[in-house]
Chains A and B, each alone.
Chain A
Amino acid sequence: MAGIRDTVGKNKSRRPQVSRRQILVGATAAGGLAIAWSLWPRDYQPNLTAAPDEHIFNAFLKIGDDGHISAIVPQCEMGQGVTTLLPQIMADELGADWRTIAVETAPISPLYANTLLVDEDSAVFTPRAGVPDFVSEVRSWARREWAVRNAVMLTANSSSVRMFEGPCRAAAAQARALLMMAAADRWDADWQACDTQDGFVLHGKQRLRFGEVAAAAALLDPPAEPVYRASSADPLYGKELTRLDLPAKIDGSANYAGDIRLPDMVFAAIRQGPLGATRLKTIDRKRGMASPGLLHVVTHDRWVATVARNWWAANGALDRFAPVFETAGIPISSDSIDAALKAALKDDGYRIASEGDVGEAMDGRTRIAAEYAVAPALHAAVETRTATAAPDRDGLRLWVATQAPAQCRDAVARATGLAPANVTLFPMMAGGSFDACLDHSVAVQAGIIALQVKRPVQLAWSRAEEIMRLPPRAPARAKLTATLNAAGGIDALVTRIAVPATNHEVRARLFDNQPADEAQRAATGRADAAAVEGAMPRYAIPHHAVDHCPADIGLPTGRWRGNADSYTAFFTECFIDEMAARAGSDALSYRMAMLGDAPLLARCLLTATSLGGWEGGLAGSAQGLACHAMRGSHIALMATARQSDKGLQVEQLVAVVDAGRLVNPAIARQQVEGGLIFGLAAAVGATTDYEGGLATARKLGQLGLPRLSQTPRILVEFVESDREPGGLGEIGVPVVAPAIANAMFAATGRRIRRIPLSAHPL
Chain B
Amino acid sequence: MTCEQAQESIALAVYGELPDEDRHLLAQHLVVCESCRAEYEAVEGLRKAMSLSPQEEPSANLLAQARLRLEEALDAVPQGGLLVRLGRRFRLGLVRLSSAPVMASALLVFGLAAGGYGGFRLGAHKLHVQQSEMILKALPIRPASVAISNGSVEAANVKPVADGPNDSLMIDTAAAQIANVSQILNAPNSNRVEIRFNRLVPESISGSINDPYIRRLLLLGVVAPQNPMVKDISVDLIARECATGRCNEGPDRRALMDALRYDNDPGVRLNALAGLQPYIASDVHVRNAVLDAMLHDADPIVRVQAIELVAPIEADSSVRQVLHTVAAQDENPQIRDVSEQLLEQEPPVQ
Do they bind each other? no
Please give the residue numbers on chain B whose beta carbons come within 8 Å of chain A beta carbons, in ascending order. none
Residues of A within 8 A of B (CB): none
